[in-house]
Structure 1
């Protein structure tokens, strides 16, 4: 903003000096018509000084205008970069929300699987061949054990039963 103010002020100063130079040139023309060499030399010198100052200020104005153009270009590039960064940030936020939703979904699914797993594993084990064989073996052992227990109880009461 300060650069813009300097360019504007320099432009006004150049215009002011140009107006002064025009006035001095008018005075110079008047003196030429009067033909006084000493006053004419002084007037030429007075006209030349603002022209030199005007040229310096004009070159400074051109330089400041170039710097202003460069600053505008840089500002536009930065704005484009900002827009791109904001777009990228929005995409990342959307991706993060999707990832959070997916994580929450997976966590819920994991919890439900943890709840189902013990019951399912028991059902699966009961349907397995090893469980069936284990039951048969246990049944046979139970049968044999039960037979021996009954036999052990009956033998003292009925000693003759065991002879046959």
Structure 2
């Protein structure tokens, strides 16, 4: 341990005491200033925390509200999807029962037949260069334009065998 110097008179002790109290006072003043700065900083941080807590609570409220809104919308979307699927199946069934669908199938058969005919004619021409095909069965002829036909004629695609 350090020993305090022995002073013979009261005056140096008084000077030492006053210098010591001056340095202590300056240190106390410095610590008080730091304490005040820390208090102000703490108040600022507390305000930021309260603002952040309010924002968090607002976000939680918004989330709860949106979740409440999403559930009925999801149910409505599911209902609409099932209705749309049912309507789509009804529309397909109605279209397949219509005359347009049946005539479309007939036309598709005619197109494939016509295409097959054209392929066969081209193969014939390639194989027999000197021969000619006189008539294109699918060419539109002016005398056919005035021909009256029943539009509701049923399509008969059965193969007839002749002996």
Measured after TM superposition, the shift of residue 116 of structure 1 is: 1.1
Q: How many residues of Structure 1 are paired with residues of Structure 2 in the alignment?
A: 105
Q: 2:100 matched to which residue of 1?
A: 134
Q: 2:18 matched to which residue of 1?
A: 51
TM superposition score normalised by structure 2: 0.52
Measured after TM superposition, the shift of residue 126 of structure 1 is: 6.2
- Determine the C-alpha separation between the residues in 1 that align with 2:86 and 2:80: 10
Highest CA radius of gyration, 1 or 2?
1
- Determine the C-alpha separation between the residues in 1 that align with 2:37 and 2:77: 59
SS at match of 2:44: helix
Structure of greater relative contact order (alpha carbons < 8 Å, 6+ residues apart) = 1
Aligned counterpart for 1:105 among listed residues 62, 67, 72: 72
Label 1:135 to 1:119 Cα distance change in 2 as closer, same or farther (>3 A): same
Q: 2:83 matched to which residue of 1?
A: 116
Q: 1:83 matched to which residue of 2?
A: 50
- Determine the C-alpha separation between the residues in 2 that align with 1:73 and 1:110: 55
Residues 1-164 of structure 1 aligned to structure 2 (within 5 Å):
42-125=9-92, 132-134=98-100, 141=154
Higher helix share: 1
Q: Deviations over 1:73-106 (max 9, x none)?
A: 0100000000010011012112222332333233
TM superposition score normalised by structure 1: 0.52
Unpaired segments of 5 or more residues in structure 2?
A: 1-6, 106-151, 159-163
Label 1:73 to 1:127 Cα distance change in 2 as closer, same or farther (>3 A): same
Moved more, 53-62 or 106-115: 106-115
Measured after TM superposition, the shift of residue 135 of structure 1 is: 6.9
- Determine the C-alpha separation between the residues in 2 that align with 1:96 and 1:85: 16
- Determine the C-alpha separation between the residues in 2 that align with 1:135 and 1:52: 114
